[in-house]
Amino acid sequence: MKIKKIISLILSVIILFVLILFLVELFLKKKYGLGNPILYKANPKYGYDVIPNQIKKRFNNSIIKINEIGSRTNINNIEGNFTINFYGDSIVYGGSYIDNKELFTEKVCINYAAKNNSKINCNNFGINAYGYNNIKNKIKHKGTKDITILYLNGSGLIRNYSNLSSQPFFSDNLNSYFPAIEEVMLYYVYKTNLKRRYSSPFNLSSQFFKEENFNFETRKFYNQQINDLINSLNNKKIIFLHSSLKRSQNGVGDNFEEYVKKFLIQNDITFIDIRKKLIENSTDINKIYHDGTHFNKHGHQIISEIITNELNF
């Protein structure tokens, strides 16, 4: 009789545990869209890329669509149409917390098509965690087309060249019984591993990364990265220099933001400073950022207006 009670208790605990797992799984799926991540693949030419032909529902029920050529857009590509290509890192990609239709890249293309009464191809080739050499090589492979917009994140200079193995991305679907919980656990393991391997996170505003502490070879290395990226563009290019929340508020960003801006000015490279445009438009800085770097929905709307106004219709 006592054994039966123990077995019954164990079974009850197991059932309760599975029920809790099921409820947590359901919550993570419905609330945050976890368990069905965007899939990536390694690429020998530019490090890695999103896998084409994906439609996923992620955070805040945002729909993420990747078309047949690996571009994040809802606009279908048609051979012969006027084409705008956007290049950059996660700021251009937009993150999984925002729907395709709310991206500044998408809004710019829609505005351009409406004002010119024409159909266009719109390619968002931005990818999370890209370094300057990833972007440069992708431009060479994907092409520049009719208008190329490079949205340059100064802080991204430190990354140089990223590969898939160094990122918390997935190359295959999560096929466990609880994929949403698995995704959370794997991300936690990734973040914990970084903290255990490195004594402190990179602080790009620290004294270590100040330009005056760079030797000749370091300056040459960084200058070459910027120069090679700029030279990968054709004549029909527009360069926008991103402004982090810190730079937008204080006028001074981290060391790499300032380094890239200084390089562009000293080498007479034409660019449009997002911070300057935000100030000119009397934008409420505190309402446009999702975090210290990326834009929220309202921010994407503001940036789309800035970029649209800079295009010659």
Do residues 64 and 182 both lie within one domain?
A: yes
- Token pair recorded at residue 209: 């990364």
Predicted local confidence at residue 31, as pLDDT? 85
pLDDT over threshold 80, residue 76: yes
Output the CA–CA distances (angstroms, integers) from residue 70 to 54, 55, 93, 114, 236, in the order listed. 9, 12, 11, 24, 22
Cβ atoms < 10 Å from Cβ of 269: 13
Do residues 127 and 172 both lie within one domain?
A: yes
Q: Is the pTM of this model over 0.85?
A: yes
**What total of structural domains would you count in the chain?**
2
Do residues 78 and 21 both lie within one domain?
A: no
Do residues 1 and 150 both lie within one domain?
A: no
**Look-up: residue for tokens 């935000």?**
278
Predicted local confidence at residue 56, as pLDDT? 93
Do residues 84 and 128 both lie within one domain?
A: yes
Do residues 5 and 66 both lie within one domain?
A: no
What's the rounded Cα separation, in Å, for the pair 220 and 11? 66
What's the rounded Cα separation, in Å, for the pair 122 and 110? 9
Is pLDDT larger for residue 86 or for residue 190?
86
Do residues 20 and 167 both lie within one domain?
A: no
Do residues 112 and 260 both lie within one domain?
A: yes
The whole domain housing 92 covers 40-310
Q: What is the mean pLDDT of residues 119-123?
A: 91
What's the rounded Cα separation, in Å, for the pair 90 and 269? 23
- Condensed to tens digits (0 to 9), the pLDDT of residues 27-49 reads 999 888 899 999 999 999 999 99
Predicted local confidence at residue 205, as pLDDT? 65
The residues, any chain, with a CB within 8 Å of residue 37's CB and separated by 6 or more, are 56, 58, 169, 170, 174, 183
The residues, any chain, with a CB within 8 Å of residue 245's CB and separated by 6 or more, are 285, 289, 291, 292, 293
Q: Do the beta carbons of residue 227 and residue 152 sit within 8 Å?
A: no
Average pLDDT, whole number, for the chain?
90
Predicted local confidence at residue 176, as pLDDT? 87
